[in-house]
């Protein structure tokens, strides 16, 4: 049996679990204790099969589903297998967590939730397997629709319905662009299989048109500027496991699509495609991280942080395209390795953080950062595991986020050698932007972690926050372990990524990395650049242990607990800590032009002083509201035709007839 | 890895641990002299450390383990930083473990931990310090990275040891890019080490303090470790600056005897650098907090310009 068949069995299993959920519509215990764990096991199996398929040769299958004469073509190659691996690994942790999470009655009955969740998973797996435009679009739309229903699980809240609508709208703008892109790619042959598209050699003009449509379409799903507005609305609206799944996995299917079209189908020919991706990516990353730093809702903060990470991925892919267009295969492979590494790293740390916010939300009922605090003492498991996620997300050694950041910066440093002197100048400046984004991400994550888990509880009710359930912890432990292992053993994952870069650009860095020894990560020669997370961790740990032992041996280990010092101020209250707004204040001030800000400051004489600040996205007012206004104006204009009187409608028919007759007579 | 390399490595770390407080004392002494005050003894920082280690640690009632772990982690990070900075020799077994980018990551790791620890107690000063420290950090970090990138582009390597080796072997010439980068590096170092004009290490005034607000709740051995780590950080920064911009006199692989000459060379260079630091701190006034982003943005721009100058002129 082919590996592809096993994977299809897993996918069919997910569908079956979904429909089993319908059978047990309101039986929460059955859904949570049986169906979700079973889904998690299937996800683990998927990850295993995908890892097994990565080194193998491509496998294809034709499913007799779909329309007559238009069957689904499926193909499992290195790129699909890699993304299936990401789906499997992340979905396992998220499903285990979800088994412990969906214990209360949410808006949608648990059985229905189970159906939507598993169809969502199955459709994502099929998207990366699809080998013709028809199957791809059907699965892409299934993915969009199932996730739409998941986002609106709590549909009695108007804000959540609005968020869902916005998501659906932008998802469809993207889908139309992707459809048009496939239309261009098939080059009038009428054959919509990817094999045919690969065989076509488009003129530079049509190739660029296809590339631009793909960037627009997949960019809308990934949340790049200016199509990012749905992300901070939809992610907080969804239940936490769904936010995790959307952010960690669904956004990555857009990255998959971009890689598939621009490298596999189009061959990444034009250098300016790369520059465009890098410029858009950097703008997105900077925009995302700056907005993330001023958020006061923990899930919105993470959603903006996802936008930032997607931007970084676009930069990596863009650099890969640029090098590839100039025939620099090894460098292209390095940049793509950085991007693909970040795909996995982001999938793990972001789902970990989203799930952690879910635990916090369940145990406190609060999403607003201003009403949290001090949860490390009430929920130590969630807090310590989130710390791992936060450190990985800030790109700090020796965790997973640092490896991809390091690889990305390395690929920037190798650029001098491009045939174009302007590009030689432009590219290092982008590296400066990446450095700024990475440093700001650290700021944001300290705010996120410090305000939720550290300090003193800002509300009295937080004293009763209950710890997370064992299954929730298990899911978090899986993801946290992933962040640590990816940080410590980068060479192993690079080995897997190598198959993908071999497929996309015909080069890879795994051989060099392997030749330099398992301890050292060195993408070219160790003289040029090297990093060894294990030695790093070992030396810091040894220094810490020596310090602990020596201090105790030479001096003493006495410790006394006392009230906090705070410069001797006795009347301190938890309200005197920085709020989320306070912590974001320097960013608001420095990056003021980024925001559309409304501020209400109290005067010293107010009896009831009120302070409020609202921050809006410029793009709403620059792009979305004008377009919406124009649409409704046009609709009103057309609406005038509708008069509701038979005589008028007869007149329309008569005039139309006359005009048509005139045309016919003239012709 | 050679025996001489291992020896050089251990010697470098031991020397850093031993000399770092001395450098702080030296700077403090000169600052006092330049400002017309009577200076504390050169060994004052050691006495302070000894006193603090002897005292018992007072920890807030609701502090989590993170608060107690953070000083040790900060200390460990700074020890590694001193281990990979080519102070005495470029033949360091630890050097391949972390290159220039990882070094910046190392400083960031220490900063994040100490900021989180400051937020842990939940007092007004702690969070204020954490916010300001992270503000300075996110502005200084990219500037530092850009400075190191300029050096990396010149030497085609991000490994600090290789950068120093290559720079020391170049025929003597003034690189315009390195000159600009040097200015940027000095500005970043002042900010990162909580020095005037960005922060004042000698104040506890709430409007101005940054680093001191951050560590306000620490006492006893924890405070001692934080102070020691801070002086290690100053030592590491000074060594990196000297290695990048005055790279002569550092021993290389295969010349074990050169270390003997490298030590007095390093001491002389650090002594001169310390006096210059005290001079900068004396002739500048501390600036308002919201001038700091401008100061650091200038450093960042200078570093980017250094990079561009290198790309344009190839030097």
Query: Which ipTM score applies to this complex?
Result: 0.94
- Among the listed residues A12, A5, A35, the one whose alpha carbon sits nearest the alpha carbon of residue A23: A35
- Say what the pLDDT of residue B92 is: 82
User: Quick one: average pLDDT of B23-38?
Assistant: 93
Instruction: Name the residue of chain B whose CA is nearest to A417's CA.
Output: B311
- Say what the pLDDT of residue B226 is: 95
pLDDT beyond 60 at A106: no
Widest CA span in chain A: 109
- Say what the pLDDT of residue A225 is: 86
- Say what the pLDDT of residue B230 is: 94
- Residues of chain A found within 8 Å of residue B152, distances taken between Cβ atoms: 413
- Among the listed residues A127, A9, A5, the one whose alpha carbon sits nearest the alpha carbon of residue A60: A5
- For residue range A2-42, what is the model confidence (pLDDT) as tens digits? 889 999 999 999 999 999 988 888 888 888 888 999 999 99
Q: Mark yes or no for CB contact B123/A431 under 8 Å.
A: no
User: Quick one: average pLDDT of A184-212?
Assistant: 90
Interface test with B, best of A388, A423, A437, A454 (most B CBs within 10 A): A454
User: Quick one: average pLDDT of A291-297?
Assistant: 92
Which one-letter DSSP state was computed for residue A399? S
- Among A92-96, A102-106, B275-279, the minimum mean pLDDT is found in A102-106
**CA dist B2 → A336, A583, B13, B253, B259 (Å):** 36, 49, 17, 9, 14
User: Quick one: average pLDDT of A484-500?
Assistant: 91
Radius of gyration of chain A (CA): 27
Q: Which long-range contacts (CB under 8 A, 24 or more apart) does A423-427 make?
A: A423/A271, A423/A275, A423/A322, A424/B311, A425/B308, A425/B311, A425/B312, A426/A275, A427/A278, A427/A319, A427/A322
- For residue A459, name the pLDDT band (cuts at 50, 70, 90): confident
| C-alpha–C-alpha distance, residues A541 and A545, integer Å | 6
Give the dihedral of Cα atoms A526, A529, A535, A541; nearest 10 deg.
160
Residue A471 and residue A438 in contact, taking contact as beta carbons nearer than 8 Å:
no
Instruction: Name the residue of chain A whose CA is nearest to B122's CA.
Output: A455
| C-alpha–C-alpha distance, residues A185 and A500, integer Å | 22
Give the dihedral of Cα atoms A127, A129, A131, A135; nearest 10 deg.
-40
3-class DSSP assignment, residue A559: strand
Residue located via tokens 């009120």: A610
- Say what the pLDDT of residue B14 is: 92
pLDDT beyond 90 at B176: no
Q: Mark yes or no for CB contact A428/B152 under 8 Å.
A: no
The reported pTM is 0.94
- Say what the pLDDT of residue B1 is: 56
Residue A252 and residue A347 in contact, taking contact as beta carbons nearer than 8 Å:
yes
- Say what the pLDDT of residue B178 is: 87
Q: At what angle do helices A298-325 and A329-364 cross, to 10 degrees?
A: 170
Instruction: Name the residue of chain A whose CA is nearest to B75's CA.
Output: A544
pLDDT beyond 70 at B253: no
Per-domain boundaries in chain A? 268-490+503-552+577-586, 591-602+609-666
- For residue range B147-169, what is the model confidence (pLDDT) as tens digits? 998 888 888 888 888 888 888 88
Looking at chain B, the number of H-run helices and the number of E-run strands are 11, 1
- Residues of chain B found within 8 Å of residue A521, distances taken between Cβ atoms: none
**Sign of the four-CA dihedral B192, B195, B198, B202:** positive
- Say what the pLDDT of residue B169 is: 81
- For residue A520, name the pLDDT band (cuts at 50, 70, 90): confident
Residue located via tokens 């199955």: A122
Percent of chain B predicted with pLDDT > 90: 51
Nearest to B112 among A396, A455, A574 (CB): A396
pLDDT beyond 70 at A104: no
- Among A163-172, B176-185, B246-255, the minimum mean pLDDT is found in B246-255
Helix (H) / strand (E) containing A597:
strand A595-600
Contacts of A514 (CB under 8 A, 6+ apart): A491, A495
| C-alpha–C-alpha distance, residues A490 and A388, integer Å | 17
Residue A74 and residue A130 in contact, taking contact as beta carbons nearer than 8 Å:
yes
- For residue B311, name the pLDDT band (cuts at 50, 70, 90): confident
- For residue range A117-171, what is the model confidence (pLDDT) as tens digits? 999 999 999 999 999 999 999 999 999 999 999 998 888 888 899 999 999 999 9
- Among the listed residues A616, A613, A591, A593, the one whose alpha carbon sits nearest the alpha carbon of residue A602: A613
Residue located via tokens 């199996």: A45
- Residues of chain A found within 8 Å of residue B98, distances taken between Cβ atoms: 397, 531-532, 536
Q: Mark yes or no for CB contact A536/B137 under 8 Å.
A: no
Nearest to B123 among A449, A450, A566 (CB): A566
Percent helix, strand and coil across chain A, each rounded to 5? 75, 5, 20
- For residue B256, name the pLDDT band (cuts at 50, 70, 90): low
User: Quick one: average pLDDT of A470-475?
Assistant: 90
Q: Mark yes or no for CB contact A376/B64 under 8 Å.
A: yes
Q: Mark yes or no for CB contact B54/A443 under 8 Å.
A: no
Instruction: Name the residue of chain A whose CA is nearest to B97's CA.
Output: A532
User: Quick one: average pLDDT of A330-338?
Assistant: 92
Q: At what angle do helices A298-325 and A421-453 cross, to 10 degrees?
A: 160
Token pair of A297 as six digits: 């809702």
Q: Mark yes or no for CB contact B98/A532 under 8 Å.
A: yes
- For residue range A227-280, what is the model confidence (pLDDT) as tens digits? 999 999 998 888 899 999 999 999 999 999 999 999 999 887 889 999 999 999
Token pair of B306 as six digits: 């250094």
Residue A573, CA atoms < 13 Å, CB-side half-sphere:
4
A-B C-beta contacts closer than 8 Å? 263
- Say what the pLDDT of residue A485 is: 94
Token pair of A320 as six digits: 């890969």
Q: B37: how many CB neighbours lie within 10 A of its CB?
A: 9
- For residue range A580-607, what is the model confidence (pLDDT) as tens digits? 888 888 898 889 888 888 888 888 888 8
Token pair of A105 as six digits: 């009655």
Q: Mark yes or no for CB contact B72/A373 under 8 Å.
A: no
Nearest to B76 among A522, A531, A547 (CB): A547
Residue A41 and residue A159 in contact, taking contact as beta carbons nearer than 8 Å:
no
Q: Mark yes or no for CB contact A566/B138 under 8 Å.
A: no
Residue A442 and residue B142 in contact, taking contact as beta carbons nearer than 8 Å:
no
Helix (H) / strand (E) containing B60:
strand B57-60
Averaged pLDDT of chain A? 90
User: Quick one: average pLDDT of B267-285?
Assistant: 92
- Say what the pLDDT of residue A524 is: 79
User: Quick one: average pLDDT of A622-637?
Assistant: 91
Helix (H) / strand (E) containing A657:
helix A646-666
């Amino acid at each position: 049996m082919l590996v592809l068949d096993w994977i299809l069995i897993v996918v069919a299993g997910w569908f079956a679990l979904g429909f089993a959920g319908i059978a047990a519509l309101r039986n929460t215990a059955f859904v949570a204790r049986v169906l979700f764990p079973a889904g998690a096991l299937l996800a683990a199996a998927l990850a295993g099969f995908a890892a097994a398929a990565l080194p193998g040769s491509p496998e294809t299958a034709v499913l007799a589903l779909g329309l007559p004469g238009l069957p689904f073509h499926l193909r499992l190659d290195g790129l699909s297998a890699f993304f299936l691996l990401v789906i499997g690994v992340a979905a396992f942790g998220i499903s285990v967590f979800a088994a412990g999470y969906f214990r209360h009655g949410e808006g949608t009955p648990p059985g229905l939730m189970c159906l939507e969740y598993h169809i969502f998973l199955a459709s994502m797996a099929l998207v990366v397997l699809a080998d013709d435009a028809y199957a791809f679009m059907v699965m892409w739309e299934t993915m969009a629709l199932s996730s739409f229903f998941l986002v609106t699980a709590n549909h009695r809240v108007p804000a959540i319905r609005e968020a869902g609508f916005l998501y659906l709208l932008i998802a469809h703008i993207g889908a139309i662009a992707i459809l048009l892109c496939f239309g261009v790619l098939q080059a009038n042959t009428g054959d919509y299989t990817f094999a045919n598209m690969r065989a076509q050699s488009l003129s530079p003009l049509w190739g660029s048109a296809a590339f631009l449509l793909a960037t627009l379409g997949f960019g809308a799903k990934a949340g790049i500027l200016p199509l990012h507005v749905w992300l901070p609305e939809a992610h907080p609206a969804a239940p936490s496991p769904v936010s995790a799944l959307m952010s960690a996995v669904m956004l990555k299917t857009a990255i998959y699509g971009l890689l598939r079209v621009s490298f596999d189908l189009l061959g990444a020919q034009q250098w300016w495609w790369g520059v465009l991706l890098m410029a858009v990516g950097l703008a997105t990353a900077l925009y995302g991280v700056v907005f993330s730093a001023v958020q006061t809702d923990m899930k919105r903060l993470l959603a903006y942080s996802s936008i930032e990470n997607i931007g970084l991925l676009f930069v990596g892919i863009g650099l890969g395209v640029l090098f590839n267009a100039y025939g620099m295969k090894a460098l292209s492979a390095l940049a793509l390795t950085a991007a693909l590494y970040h795909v996995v790293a982001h999938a793990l740390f972001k789902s970990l953080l989203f799930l952690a916010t879910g635990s916090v939300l369940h145990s406190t009922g609060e999403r607003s950062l201003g009403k949290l605090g001090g949860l490390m003492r009430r929920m130590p498991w969630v807090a310590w595991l989130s710390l791992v996620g936060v450190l990985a997300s800030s790109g700090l050694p020796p965790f997973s986020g640092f490896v991809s950041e390091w690889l990305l910066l390395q690929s920037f440093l190798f650029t001098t050698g491009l045939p174009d002197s302007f590009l030689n100048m432009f590219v290092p400046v982008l590296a400066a932007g990446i450095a700024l984004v990475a440093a700001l991400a650290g700021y944001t994550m300290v705010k996120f972690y410090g305000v939720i888990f550290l300090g003193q509880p800002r509300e009295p009710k937080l004293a009763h926050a209950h710890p997370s359930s064992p299954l929730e912890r298990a899911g978090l432990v899986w993801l946290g372990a992933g962040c640590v292992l990816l940080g410590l053993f980068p060479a192993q994952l690079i080995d897997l990524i190598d198959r993908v870069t071999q497929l996309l650009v015909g080069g890879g860095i795994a051989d060099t990395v392997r030749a330099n020894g398992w301890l050292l990560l060195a993408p070219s020669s160790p003289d040029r650049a090297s990093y060894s997370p294990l030695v790093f961790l070992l030396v810091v740990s040894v220094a810490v242990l020596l310090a602990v032992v020596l201090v105790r041996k030479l001096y003493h280990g006495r410790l006394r607990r006392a009230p906090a010092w705070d410069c001797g101020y006795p009347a301190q209250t938890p309200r005197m800590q920085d709020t989320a707004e306070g912590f974001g204040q320097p960013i608001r001030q420095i990056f003021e032009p980024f925001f559309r800000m409304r501020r209400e400051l109290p005067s010293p004489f107010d009896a009831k002083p009120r302070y409020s600040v609202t921050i809006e996205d410029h793009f709403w007012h620059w792009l979305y509201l004008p377009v919406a206004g124009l649409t409704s104006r046009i609709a009103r204009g057309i609406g005038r035709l509708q008069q509701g009187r038979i005589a008028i409608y007869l007149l329309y028919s008569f005039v139309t007839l006359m005009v048509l007759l005139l045309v016919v007579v003239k012709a | 890895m050679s025996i001489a390399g291992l020896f050089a490595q251990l010697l470098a770390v031991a020397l850093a641990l031993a000399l770092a407080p001395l450098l702080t004392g030296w700077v403090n002494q000169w600052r006092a002299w330049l400002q017309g005050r009577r200076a504390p003894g050169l060994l004052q920082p050691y006495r302070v450390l000894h006193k603090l280690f002897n005292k018992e640690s007072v920890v807030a009632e609701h502090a989590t383990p993170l608060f107690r772990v953070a000083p040790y982690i900060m200390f460990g990070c700074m020890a590694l930083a001193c281990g990979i900075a080519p102070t005495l020799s470029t033949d360091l077994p630890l050097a391949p473990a972390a290159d220039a980018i990882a070094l910046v990551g190392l400083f960031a790791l220490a900063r994040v931990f100490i900021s989180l620890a400051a937020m842990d107690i939940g007092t007004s000063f702690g969070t204020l310090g954490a916010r300001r420290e992270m503000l300075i950090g996110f502005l200084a970090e990219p500037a530092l990275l850009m400075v190191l990138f300029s050096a990396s582009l010149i030497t085609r390597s991000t490994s600090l040891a290789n950068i120093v080796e290559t720079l020391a072997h170049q025929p003597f010439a003034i690189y315009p890019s390195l000159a600009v980068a040097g200015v940027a590096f000095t500005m970043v170092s002042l900010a990162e080490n909580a020095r005037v004009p960005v922060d004042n290490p000698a104040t506890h005034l709430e409007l101005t303090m940054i680093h001191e607000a951050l560590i306000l709740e620490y006492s006893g051995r924890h405070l001692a470790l934080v102070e020691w780590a801070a002086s290690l950080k100053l030592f590491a920064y000074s060594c990196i600056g000297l290695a990048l911009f005055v790279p002569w006199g550092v021993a290389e692989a295969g010349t074990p005897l050169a270390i003997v000459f490298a030590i007095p060379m390093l001491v002389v260079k650090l002594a001169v650098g310390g006096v210059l630091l005290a001079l900068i701190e004396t002739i500048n006034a501390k600036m308002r907090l919201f001038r700091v982003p401008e100061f650091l943005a200038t450093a960042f721009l200078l570093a980017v310009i250094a990079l561009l100058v290198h790309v344009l002129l190839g030097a």
